[in-house]
Amino acid sequence: MLPKSHPRFESLRQRDLLIEGYKAGATAIAGLIAFGRGEAYDYLLGEKTPKSAITAIEASAALLLSAKNPVISINGNTAVLCPRELVKLSEILGAKLEINLFYRTEKRVGIIEKILKENGAKQVYGIRPTAELKGTESERRKVDRKGIYSADVVFVALEDGDRTEALISAGKKVIAVDLNPLSRTAKTASITIVDNIIRAVPLLIETVKKLKHTDKAELEKIVSNYDNEKTLKSMGAEILSGLKNQSQP
């Protein structure tokens, strides 16, 4: 048991979720390494949601609310870090949940499906893929015809650059949650939320609730006013200024 009084409680709690997720067969061992890379960037953010991420979250909520077939892509890390919140997000948006794995095995897919269902998911896509996404060789090419294959907006997290590029090439809008503003995913996505998925999803749920009754034209305005390159640049500036303040006596 982790003592709640530990100064690094939240960080240790997240590590614990992944270790347990690995032991349960949901998370791939490479997922633990990917998480470690994310943690390093989170440290640079002071483990707080940066201002630029709030702008990206607002644009994401507007884009998801305007989508015809939004799909939330689930992998072995996101399934154990915040399954309840991801299911909730899919419910309030009427979005589909689809399992999509780099290290895909039928067993791992089944374990993740069970986690999602235990957390309230009624239907999970991607169990028996019915289509292939062009432009990526990995197991992540296997998608559901009614899900990612025909989606207009795909929400991804801890994503690989290859598939982000393939999704964009297929004409989809991609919302990525990635703590690393320099990754290919961050640079390729339509909207990049540079934040920890654990903090970003609850904030996104709140923002979707806030914008739920906004008219279509207003939502479109929020999306078209958003500039991902600019947001990523100000992200870099936020990290630098945080570091500068840290080093001041």
What mask, x for binding ligand ATP by CB under 6 A, covers residues 4 to 43?
A: ------------------------------xx-xx--x--
Minimum CB distance to ligand ATP smaller for 37 or for 146: 37
Minimum CB distance to Mg ion smaller for 42 or for 160: 160
88 binds ligand ATP (CB under 6 A): no
Give the count of residues interacting with Mg ion (CB under 5 A): 1
Least distance from ligand ATP to the Cβ atom of residue 21, Å: 12
Residue type present at position 218: E
Distance CA 54, CA 52 (A): 5
CB 88 within 8 A of CB 97: no
- Residue 45 corresponds to which tokens in the numbers above? 């953010």
- Quick check: helix, strand or coil at residue 93? helix
**Of positions 98, 144, 160, 195, contacts Mg ion by CB under 5 A:** 160
What φ, ψ does residue 64 adopt, rounded to 5°? -65, -35
136 binds ligand ATP (CB under 6 A): no
- Quick check: helix, strand or coil at residue 71? strand
Distance CA 126, CA 99 (A): 5
178 binds Mg ion (CB under 5 A): no
- Using the contact rule CB under 6 A, the part of the chain among 84-92, 104-112, 173-181, 227-235 near ligand ATP is 173-181
